Structure 1
Amino acid sequence: MIAVLLLDFGGPEKLDDVEPFLKNLFSDRLIFPFPFGQEIFAKIIAKYRSPKVIEEYKLIGGRSPLIEQSKNICRDLEEGFKKANLDIPVFVGMRYWKPTIDETLSQIASLQPKGMVVIPMFPHYSTATTLSVLQEFQKSYDARRLTIPYQLVEWWYDQPQFIAAWCYSIKKALDSFDEKIRKTVPILFTAHGLPVSFVTERKDPYPKQVKESCEKIMTYLGGDNPSYLSYQSKVGPIEWLKPSTMKFVKELGSRGVRELIIVPISFLTDHIETLFEIDHEIIPEAKKAGIAQVVRCEALYYGPYLKKTLEDLVLRKLPSLLGG
């Protein structure tokens, strides 16, 4: 038996979870490095931000859909492996919420698998996401003195199935537009932002990988659709990657753009960043700027290719674990 461990951040499952979730998030020095008193800083910022964030979650159902959708992905993957006569149970562990990475590792260890395939649910590598979950994984693995061999998938932004997944989602969104203009509707890729210092000081490859994904998608998509890339979800006063998605949609409106597809390129499932930030803030702002028809692509969770992508990533690692 080979086990699969998917790693993600997690999210609040009810409104009362928002403040403790934020505290866990702000306690991570890889995301919010504070020169001293990280835990005190995290507690203060979480308490300050939680009332606003709670109101945002109220508008999207009172919870994050991430955990439920992640568990569904695990179930679908496991069922697919069973149909192929492969004994590969699939688990998910969360960096900032439950089930924690440590709890999930304990569950996997109890099954005594021959090996593990570990996949961060972040196609593009970043020190703020991929490295954070992998460090937590390694910390728990070492603390439990596990000896299970494992293979890591550190990034998968350029995998053909991942590119096909976004092409599928974009084509589905294009169907919302009049057939006469589908090949020319502008496409705006929006990725979760990152402090500029992460790129200049840590040499974070994230923006380069995101750009390469977008270019590959547009190549495979074909057509004459103009495309752009911007960044969202900025937190704090420091400089983040630009252009800002919020500002850029206003600019597109001022240029005379009247139709637009928004592609949340760095999000695999539904998040507050898509359901609230894009749907309740960015899209209304775009319409105010004169863009009459704006369509956000569905998360890859809803299409057939995310499962195929993850299956392919697992199967590629099996020979190394089975000695083949």
Structure 2
Amino acid sequence: MPDPQKPIGVLFMAYGGPESLDEIPGYLSDIRHGRPTTTAVLDEITNNYRQIGGKSPIMGLTKAQVEGAMAQLNPPGEPERFKAYLGMRHWSPWIEETVGQMIDDGIERAVAIVLAPHFSSMSIAKYQAKIQAGLELYRGDIDFATVDAYYDADLLIEAFAARVREAVEQFPEDERDDVHVVLSAHSLPVRILREGDPYQDQLWTTARLIAERAGLREDQWSWSYQSEGRSPEPWLGPQLEDHIPTLHEERGVDKVVSLAIGFVSDHVEILYDIDIEAQKAAKAMGVTLVRPPSLNDDARFTRLLAELVEGRAAEEGWIDSDVRAASAGAPSMPMPEGTASPV
């Protein structure tokens, strides 16, 4: 039986990123499971990171998110109920190694949460598989409760909607009705749709809830994917750098707010793919593109993380059920069939 006096572990997980240009070859090797990276691809990725400052900011931002959540999970002056751990999928500290540290620390129960709101077999499920790999590698026995998705949590929707409103307000008041909002997320291969993966339906649900909360008209926003991979198979689209010129050519849009809702912090897919590549495409068409800040350590988001962790712990009977997490409402899966596509 687990010792109820021991703190509950909280394993926060994120994608990871290189801390310097010198780390990029190793980082790409990890993503590619040891397969060689061509010189052309390595040079291109290195140049992308050079343009955003020579490193990924994801580690520092993720630590700030964890600190914000833990400040609420362990209020000052109260016994320590939770103990935080951080694991990265593709860079140090690797999830498997972090699980090993949790075993060494005597953690018996833990909540695992990925800092990405939408479930996919190609994303969240991969993180969860690494937890299991860590348990097997280090021969441990931790009872993990996972947060699978939180794409329609009220605090998430409000945080994103606030970003939309802030960005629209950067335009002159008499031009705001003409501003078009493009919501986006990382593309995945089209085959996930045939496999019944809930990723796209969850994204579209999030997008519609944000648009509604932000007070956007149906014709004032649209959906796009971004950052598609390099494999030859088809990927979900349209791609952001193609979608913006299409909006301009077909609908006369010349003012755009671009908000990535599949990410919760800045990294190369934001700082390069949007701020440089999409911005370049927009400027070539005479389109003004504004990107509001990512959620990063937004107080609404860190509060949501705390509530989700408390909620899963309460569901498992590890803490009293009358916790704040009841308001977070982690959604159940799968999504209802027939979810309509955004405009």
| Structure-to-structure mapping, 1:131-210, within 5 angstroms | 131-200=125-194, 202-210=195-203
Identity of aligned residues (%): 28
Q: How far did 1:12 drift?
A: 0.5
Assess if the C-alpha contact under 8 Å between 1:169 and 1:303 holds in 2: no
Counterpart of 2:58 (choices 48, 53, 66) is 66
Q: How far did 1:48 drift?
A: 4.2
Assess if the C-alpha contact under 8 Å between 2:68 and 2:303 holds in 1: no
Partner Cα separation in structure 1 for residue 79 and residue 229 of structure 2? 43
Counterpart of 1:297 (choices 288, 292, 296) is 292
Q: Kindly tell me: are residues 302 and 284 of structure 1, through their superposed partners in 2, closer, same or farther at Cα, counting changes over 3 Å?
A: farther
Superposition RMSD in Å: 1.7
Q: What corresponds to 1:95 in structure 2?
A: 89
Assess if the C-alpha contact under 8 Å between 1:193 and 1:241 holds in 2: yes
Q: What corresponds to 1:215 in structure 2?
A: 208
Q: What corresponds to 1:57 in structure 2?
A: 49
Q: Kindly tell me: are residues 172 and 153 of structure 1, through their superposed partners in 2, closer, same or farther at Cα, counting changes over 3 Å?
A: same
TM-score, normalised to structure 1's length?
A: 0.90
Partner Cα separation in structure 2 for residue 11 and residue 44 of structure 1? 16
Q: What corresponds to 2:334 in structure 1?
A: none
Q: How far did 1:289 drift?
A: 1.2
Partner Cα separation in structure 2 for residue 73 and residue 283 of structure 1? 27
Partner Cα separation in structure 1 for residue 131 and residue 317 of structure 2? 18
Q: What corresponds to 2:341 in structure 1?
A: none
Partner Cα separation in structure 1 for residue 112 and residue 291 of structure 2? 30
- Give 1:203's aligned amino acid: G
Are residues 1:267 and 2:273 paired?
no
Partner Cα separation in structure 2 for residue 311 and residue 252 of structure 1? 39
Q: How far did 1:302 drift?
A: 4.5
Per-residue CA deviations over 1:122-167 (Å, capped at 9, x if unaligned) read 2111122111111111111233232222210011111111111101
Partner Cα separation in structure 1 for residue 79 and residue 223 of structure 2? 40
Q: How far did 1:68 drift?
A: 1.4
- Give 2:201's aligned amino acid: K
Structure 1: runs of 5 or more not aligned:
28-38
Q: What corresponds to 2:333 in structure 1?
A: none
Are residues 1:243 and 2:238 paired?
yes
Q: How far did 1:171 drift?
A: 1.6
Partner Cα separation in structure 2 for residue 61 and residue 321 of structure 1? 45
Partner Cα separation in structure 2 for residue 132 and residue 107 of structure 1? 20
- Give 2:285's aligned amino acid: A
Partner Cα separation in structure 2 for residue 86 and residue 152 of structure 1? 23
Assess if the C-alpha contact under 8 Å between 2:73 and 2:310 holds in 1: no
Q: Kindly tell me: are residues 89 and 184 of structure 1, through their superposed partners in 2, closer, same or farther at Cα, counting changes over 3 Å?
A: farther
Assess if the C-alpha contact under 8 Å between 2:87 and 2:94 holds in 1: yes
Query: Which is further off, 261-270 or 69-78?
Result: 69-78
Name the one with the larger helix percent. 1
TM-score, normalised to structure 2's length?
A: 0.85
